[in-house]
Amino acid sequence: MNKLEKLEDFLRHSILFLYYGELFSKKQREYLELYFEENSSFSEIAKKYKITRQAVYDNIKRGIKQLDEYEEKLKIFEKEKELKNKLLFLKSNFTLENLEKIIKEFDYDENLE
């Protein structure tokens, strides 16, 4: 895996953490927040919590796996990206027909009241 792939993975998991962070235990959420949001190293996190660097690594690795599993099951990030792409298309190609097509594709044509 090259540096660009690692960066893309890190960014993807950072975004997934924004969606699914509340599903983690308090302690694991703290480790992941430090890692993703504050860009703390494993060593810095280990020092702060007085645990081994390996324990932090294992916890972060397990958290990343959980993020992937949540997204695989719930697909919130994927659906949001898809909706954003469709809205960008609609912005430059607006017709009532295109709007109705997007609404139908997302099953948003039902009365939500």
> What's the pLDDT score for residue 4?
80
Chain mean pLDDT for the chain: 91
Give span(s): CATH 1.10.10.10, the chain.
3-74
CB neighbours of 62 closer than 8 A, spacing ≥ 6? Answer: 28
CB neighbours of 92 closer than 8 A, spacing ≥ 6? Answer: none
> What's the pLDDT score for residue 57?
97
Q: Look at domain 3-74 and name its CATH class.
A: mainly alpha
Q: CA angle, corner 83, sides to 64 and 5, nearest 5? A: 35
Q: How many CB atoms neighbour CB 30 within 10 A?
A: 15
pTM (predicted TM-score): 0.81
Rounded mean pLDDT, 27-37: 96
Q: pLDDT tens digit string along 53-74?
A: 999 999 999 999 999 999 999 9
- Band the pLDDT of 103: cuts 50, 70, 90: confident
Distances (CA, A) of 22 to 3, 33, 43, 68, 101: 29, 11, 24, 15, 34
